[in-house]
Structure 1
């Protein structure tokens, strides 16, 4: 009896020992499969967009840092940090606006995205209906980023075309630094004249059949507003547009203007002013000074202001924008020059540069869009 009891105790100990061994084995297996092995080499990090040739030492040396827009390297490689996304044309479900892409110059790649507002209800079976004002729009982006095809501007032009009921042409001009100024100006001028020809009697049906050339507007934001101003000046100093077309209105949204001497309310911080001078020099490759009328219209005499070829000008500004003071001075100089036209000014306090693009549903953005579309819609 005692022997049997002893045997049972030994078997129990053996069972406990086996159980402990099994638990230990399970713990070892968990360590093997769940914990990374230290001798396994990690995967190399992915290369950043636009990464160049690692064998070229100049490909990693920064030649110009234009953050947050782009960085240019000594080799000439450009790494754009923003404004590179693209979206397709088509029918916008929210507004009913139809868009399409057109090539203006296949040799240079100059192109545009066009927008046509939907026909009012009940007019589909009654022909083409009323002709619409024509809007030529130049996007911003410091002359170096963004595109007529980016989601940011595609959404904005859909909204403008729907609410103002305009045939819009958003121009895809070439960017610096691959194409320094005056390339953007020259592309924009070519596109504007293409619109003028087609809205008259050209082959583009949206302009020929639906556009009202007597109500031609030129507009843009930031750098695009700078371009729009230059287009109106070229039209006034260079013999006008093709076919005798005239610009009815000029719309400048938070325009990019600067100069050597601060105007009232402009920053006097030397480092900040040097930064703007350096970026302008980078954009134009040093071809134009910071006092050139291309970037500083205030350097023009009154006789030049009077050549601005349009009958109405509207300028918007944002309260926290570095460019605000010079935009206000632009309006004042135009009024004081003796220019025979109508000026309007719209300001949004407490907002930063072109805030309305990033936050289209914000109440301030909605109000600004109402001003923009009202300017374009008014007879």
Structure 2
């Protein structure tokens, strides 16, 4: 099997799995307990927190462990919105965010918050001028994904951060689920985002793991109330094995960042060039200026499911747009925002690379895809 659906989920590293099992087996006490065993487990938890904080260049107390990207995004959006009404009730995001952001914003809109959605160009990138125009004195939150999960567009988050902080009091939340481990993601002094959200299973960690990170102490409402764990913001017994395994995955991702960037960039560029050889039969949504690990394209007048099934019969696993919403029988909101030609709207396929992929698999894919195109399109 050639697995090219790593933006949906990745195969966990063996080291991550071993860490998870070892901590579950040997460090199972409640980290909130005051006995020696509990204190030992809590020290392990805080070591994991410190490791992630070091990577992001923030303080350990600004890292909160969650169950993944959706929870982290919800936490950032609802937590900031509920705690900062004194600034205003105007919030901004983009048209191509993940569902965990868009649905949260819709929920706030139903509660009386005013939402502006930034448009994108054909490459999926926002206009900084439009962002500047939309900011107001009562803008309280801006949410923006660093890398789009469906076609790999990279947003100019550093430039956006400068504009947001210069022209408003808004808190800037960056969804880094698809960028952490592929691009440089960290807090950078006064520049950059105020909040970063990350999911473990996108970086060869475990499903059900993630974190929300803050650049500084923020006014944010608790996500879950109870015993006051995670600095009173997310009560409940902390899943220490998951947290330690996540820290391990984060360390490996950063250590291998340059190696993976080089490989993924090479493969992305090769495939973009390869798809251009099919002329007007294929429309390429991704670009060589986008994320290194995602290549999205569409075959004219073919549904994505048809292409997926043809590739799957030959041992290649790819996806249509976002795995989180691909079972829904409707055109992706990202495809709509990009104004893709109607002939190509239903045939969007996403190839996404991971650490386990090889040069040989790229070459095998090219040969297999040529067979598929001959079978389905006669070319």
Q: TM-score range by the shorter chain?
A: under 0.3
The structure with the largest alpha-carbon Rg is: 1
More strand per residue: 1 or 2?
1
What TM-score does the superposition give when structure 2 sets the normalisation length?
0.28
Q: Which structure has more RCO (C-alpha within 8 Å, separation ≥ 6)?
A: 2
What TM-score does the superposition give when structure 1 sets the normalisation length?
0.28
